[in-house]
Amino acid sequence: MMDYSRVLNKKVCDIEPSGIRKFFDIAATMDDVISLGVGEPDFQTPWAIRKAGITSLERGKTKYTSNRGLQRLREEISSYIDRKQSVKYKADDEILVSVGGSEAIDVAVRAIVGEGDEVIIPQPSYVCYEPISILAGGKPVIIETKAENDFKITPDELKAAITPKTKALILPYPCNPTGAVMEHKDLCAIADVLRDTDIIVISDEIYSELTFTEHGHTSIAQIDGMRERTILVSGFSKAFSMTGWRLGYACGPKEIIAQMTKIHQFAIMCAPTTAQYAAIEAMSKCDNAVEDMKAEYNRRRRLMVSGFNRIGLTCREPLGAFYTFPSIKSTGLSSDEFCQRLLDSEHVAVVPGTAFGKGGEGFIRASYCYSAEHIIEALNRIERFLKTL
Amino acid sequence: MKTELLKLLSRNARYSVRQLADMIGTDEQTVEKEIKSLEKEGVICGYKAVIDWDSVENPLVSAIIEIKVVPKADLGFEDVAEKISSFSEVESVYLMSGGYDLNVVVKGKTLQDVAQFVARELATIDSVTSTATHFVMRRYKELDVSLYEGEKDDRGNILI
């Protein structure tokens, strides 16, 4: 008999599987369950983008592309980021097209982090940063962001987390699950801490288009002296509703992108060709479709925030992404208990804040990738649940 | 605010004032006032349910009638359009560009009812030179609402 515990990589085995799996499995067995759990747009990919994919297939564009991605797509990404964020990246050697933002994060971490190096990760945040850092041999150093700071990282928290071993800072804003946004002044304060160090910022800006502040999204790469120490990661999943196409990108100094490209080349070869052709259309001709989706998210966002506050769950205004992160502390329940009991009694699925790090205790994440009618029904059920406590 | 309000009401006229205010990002009083004034100005002309008549016991039949008209010297199409609009069998009347003039949607209990109504009431109007009746076989979408079972939400429950 094989003893698999002896053959498998210990580092991999030691990574906890997501605890939320079990919870979602229970929800899947209920037929009238109403979920606010999904972190994926409910909109179809705009037709023009789908059509561009179809056309590329009709023309037989079914071969590998270059490792970095189609030249034309990299040119479009370059001008898109220049247009949106006023940061210039050369299509030739400063952009890598990846399989979703996730791969770009993985490759960026692997290119920067070696055995024993420390990676600073703010939490609550998306679940991949910690395991990716560990698999690269790194040691995650967690900053627990505070509700009273609107879940932004502060310069003091950052200074306290930095040691001589710090190699990278993950900067996940707009933030899943908190909806927090780091505005220009917040980023300037962080840049002041980092400017004279060798720390690389891996800035996960996948939700940048979904920023509901007056001035819109700011990238840390825009701040003086930061472009040279930043890897900007983004992708097509959220803004263009292209989750299943699996396409993202990383932009950064050519020295870093060259090493990232090596990893990408040997692990992946190249991002999916059909998706790359479709993405050219997305970058160049779909601003209106994105604006329409954003306007709809904004209506739902306001509906949900007001709804939670009205029924007694304090909910700060999330300024980005498509999640609300209300506090459930007033109920006296833990996040896990709250979600479990809400699912049992009212068949509403929301995600416990603790799925995104210990600092998420006392909060739940509710996604507004659902129609207003769906959200209204979910809020009614949650209100009924709260009255039984 | 006005466009936004109209957009939301055309999507679902049963949103509460509070829900509308939340979605627009204003207060309930403002919404209430705006709705009243839009009703008064005749911008909002009514509120009706979207009904799939095919799924009730005695479904109504409907037909689209293409009508050609000789317009009157001083009144143009107004006179005949208003006359046609006045029938309770008529659901909508549009002046069209292209091969014919008026597009009229007529409802009735049976095919015969509709055919008779067209022959007796519409074809006989003085300035009407011809009618062409097209019966509706099946409805797939009505006022932005799909009447067939759409695709289920097949998003996987993966933690993103």
Mean pLDDT calculated for residue range B16-31: 97
**CATH classification code of B2-40:** 1.10.10
Could you tell me which chain B residue has the CA closest to the CA of A176?
B160
Q: How far apart are CA B112 and CA B125, in angstroms?
A: 20
Are residues A143 and A371 in contact, defined by beta-carbon separation less than 8 angstroms?
no
As a whole number, mean pLDDT of residues B62-75 equals: 90
- Cα separation of A205 and A268, whole Å? 22
- Residue A61: C-alpha distances to residues A48, A68, A99, A350 (Å): 17, 17, 18, 41
For chain A, which ranges sit under pLDDT 70?
19
Determine the residue of chain A that is closest to B160 in CA distance.
Answer: A39
DSSP string, chain B: -HHHHHHHHHH-TT--HHHHHHHHTS-HHHHHHHHHHHHHTTSS--------GGGSSSPPEEEEEEEEE--BTTTBTHHHHHHHHTSTTEEEEEE-SSS-SEEEEEEESSHHHHHHHIIIIITTSTTEEEEEEEE----SEETTEE-S------------
Q: Any CB–CB contact under 8 A between B12 and chain A?
A: yes
Chain A 56-85, residues with CB within 8 Å of chain B CB atoms: none
With an 8 Å Cβ cutoff, is A311 touching chain B? no
Mutate to test the interface with B, among A25, A306, A356 (most CBs of B within 10 A): A306
Interchain CB contacts (distance < 8 Å): A and B: 46
A302 to B24: CB separation less than 8 angstroms, yes or no: yes
pLDDT in tens, B126-156: 899 999 999 999 889 988 888 887 777 878 7
On whether any CB of chain B is under 8 Å from the CB of A355, the answer is: yes
Kindly determine whether residue A20 and residue B159, on different chains, have CB atoms separated by under 8 Å. Answer: yes
Where exactly does CATH 3.30.70.920 map onto chain B?
53-138
Cα→Cα distances A9→A12, A14, A135, B160, Å: 5, 9, 10, 25
Q: Do A38 and B24 touch (CB under 8 A)?
A: no
CATH number of B53-138, picked from 1.10.1060.10, 3.10.129.10, 3.30.750.80, 3.30.70.920 = 3.30.70.920
Alpha helices in chain A (DSSP H): 4-7, 10-13, 20-29, 47-58, 71-85, 100-112, 129-135, 155-161, 184-194, 254-267, 273-285, 287-310, 335-346, 372-387
| A323-324 vs A364-367, strand pairing mode | antiparallel
Instruction: Count CB neighbours of B124 within 10 A.
Output: 10
Q: Which of residues 21-50 of B touch A (CB under 8 A)?
A: 22-25
Q: For chain A, which residues make up each domain, given as ranges?
A: 4-45+288-387, 47-285
Q: How far, CA to CA in Å, does B107 sit from each of A295, B87, B92, B117, B146?
A: 38, 11, 10, 10, 20
Please state which architecture CATH assigns to domain A4-45+288-387.
Alpha-Beta Complex (3.90)
Residue B147: the pLDDT is: 85
Q: What is the pLDDT of residue B154?
A: 78
B155 vs A38: CB contact, 8 Å cut-off? yes
Among B10, B16, B18, B22, most A C-beta atoms within 10 A, so best to mutate, is B22
Nearest-CA distance A290 → chain B (Å): 17
Whether A241 and A269 have beta carbons less than 8 Å apart is answered as no
B6 CB within 8 Å of a chain A CB: no
What is the nearest CA distance from A19 to chain B, expressed in angstroms?
A: 10
Q: What is the CATH number of domain A47-285?
A: 3.40.640.10
By Cβ distance, the residue of B22, B153, B159 closest to A303 is B22
Q: Does B137 touch chain A (CB under 8 A)?
A: no
- pLDDT of A88-123, one tens digit each? 999 999 999 999 999 999 999 999 999 999 999 999
pLDDT reported for residue B53: 83
pLDDT value for B54: 83
How many angstroms away from the CA of B104 is the closest CA of chain A? 32
Q: Which residues of A touch B25 (CB under 8 A)?
A: 298, 302
Task: Calculate the dihedral angle through the C-alpha atoms of A370, A77, A245, A182, rounding to the nearest 10 degrees.
Answer: -40
pLDDT (mean) for B93-114: 95
Under an 8 A CB cutoff, do A302 and B25 touch? yes
* Cβ distance of A21 and B159 shorter than 8 Å: yes
What is the per-residue pLDDT for A363?
98
Q: Please determine, for residue B56, whether its predicted confidence score (pLDDT) is greater than 90.
A: no
- B57 band by pLDDT with thresholds 50, 70 and 90: confident
Burial of B130 (0-12, 13-18, 19+ CB in 10 A): exposed
Distance from C-alpha of A56 to C-alpha of A50, rounded to nearest angstrom: 10
**Quick one: pLDDT at residue B76?**
83
Residue of chain A minimizing CA distance to B12: A373
Q: With an 8 Å Cβ cutoff, are B160 and A35 in contact?
A: no
B122 touches B115 (CB < 8 A): no
| Minimum CA–CA partner of A244 in chain B | B155
- A140 neighbors A109 (Cβ within 8 angstroms): no
A126 interfacial to chain B (CB closer than 8 Å)? yes
pLDDT, mean of residues B79-99 = 95
Whether A376 contacts chain B with CB within 8 A? yes
pLDDT at A20: 72
Please tell me if residue B155 touches chain A, with a CB cutoff of 8 Å.
yes
Average pLDDT over residues B19-25: 97
Tally Cβ neighbours within 10 Å of residue B88.
6
* Encoded tokens for A230: 């930043």
Phi/psi of residue A38, nearest 5 degrees = -80, 130
pTM above 0.90, yes or no: yes
Can you give the pLDDT at residue A122? 98
* pLDDT at residue B63, as a whole number: 96
CB atoms within 10 A of CB A155: 15
